Structure 1
């Protein structure tokens, strides 16, 4: 039954809250760390107006969904996505993910394959965040020497001061009053140390990688690498955006998103 503030219970007993609105081909929207399903408001409006079905969830530990002490790892978030897809019997899915939501999607692909996702949009996320002597396309300034400090919020990730101002009405994420970083820190650590690079060559659907020229976290070269590793990948750099091009340049992003879907039916 379509609606808002719907719930499912995962196989490990966690209540996930989601919205399921509209009709037509399905867009599944997956937010990032400390985000919420309201983060996609600019896309929701445009996609519903274009006659599509929009499904968006609060991932476990976030906003209205349960905040358990178990299952705080990326593979479990990937399984949550799979269980929501199965519950709703989704088909012909365009999966649009931002930041940590990209990693959750890659976790799902790794565990149970890509279908029924037919198109994948990966916004501002490296497949491996922690840099080392063999990898330099992770999050800026993140290495094995400081990963625990960053995971437990004792140090700052990247250069957030570079992020351009957000437009009015943007629901960027949860506040300190509504998000318990300490409780969710195991998830943040697991996210920072995960490595999904081996998944990229196995993504068998058209993939649109999106980044911002002013990203406080990632170098454009790393996003170029991501797109090149996927068999049918392509990259767009939004010149006036940082970590959230779909918010900062929402109108242009939405136009290109619909064009991407139309070109890959």
Structure 2
């Protein structure tokens, strides 16, 4: 059953599909007010519709309906505009789910074009930094002060897949971002945690069903899990009191090749 609306405000990046959409819908069911960001406007409106259903809302123009803000998170001005829109609409920001990202092109290091490397770094790392910076600035300045940032890491923040050097490097870097944000946020009641996801069933992991390359060169089918299980975990992290924080959480398909991988 949907929870009545609250004053808690969440910004979700990469909200047009996959994990971002699932988390937005789950937060909506918990009464959160949402600001949905992503590059494509049409999928964001679809997420807003699904979130409205989860919240038991009957109209898209209700005061607590999600705000749709098409955003390129690699653009500092666009990110600043996103958070300005969030504050203009709802008055504050209590949560950033820092989720936008890409796998990039599968290639060995000698075959990866520098432009491809930079595109992955720009989105997965610089985009996460820009959103965290804007969220931190707002959370530090607002009254009551504080909030929470949850970064979407990956199993690849711990161990790589073959031919994934750009993605793996950025996800390792996100862990450093998480730790630094946690430390810098302490004086301002800003908590930061990271969720590392393995094989959630989304559009981006559809290949798992037909087989993906393993460390020994084999192509093998890998099990997946319902993306809703990720969303429930994010909501749990988000709804902890300011005095508590899940620093790192790993949520994965039980039988996926992670333990023992590499």
TM exceeds 0.5? no
Q: Which has the higher helix share?
A: 2
Structure 1-normalised TM-score?
Answer: 0.39
